[in-house]
Amino acid sequence: MSLLAHINFAAVIVATISAIAIGSIWFGPRTFFPVWWAAMGRPKDEKPGGENMTVVFAGTFIGQFVQAMAVAIVVAMQADRGNGQLGAFDGLFIGLLVGVGFAAAASLSHRLFAGQSFKVWAIEVGSDVVSLTVMSIIIALWR
């Protein structure tokens, strides 16, 4: 049976939406956005995202969907190796592994070579790790 046959696409969509919601809260005006924006050296009156916010939000949705699909494949592979049942702890572990081991580790050199601070990296990666962990829990529980 194909690996894609083991993926619950409703869970992938819910996981995608959860990541967008987490990012919206994480980078909200009363949470990390002001600190992140200042750490990037941007003026307070500059608007994020450029001129075409439709492209920004569409790109964000596509990126989160791709991440959710990748997490779903990792979860399905892990479930296939065992008895097929995964719980919240399994999802938590997979999400942290993917978030810290891939997202955080890969983006560190990108941020440093771009001349950005550890603060920028930590804020961005914090959102990624939390999002990937929540995605993994949703997908593991909703198999």
Query: What is the domain extent for residue 27?
Result: 3-141
pTM: 0.91
Dump pLDDT digits (tens) for 27-75. Answer: 999 999 999 999 999 988 888 877 788 999 999 999 999 999 999 999 9
How many domains are there within the chain?
A: 1
Cβ atoms 50, 56 nearer than 8 A? yes
The Cα 82–Cα 135 span in angstroms is 20
The helix/strand/coil state of 117 is coil
Least Cα distance to 70 among 27, 28, 101 occurs for 101
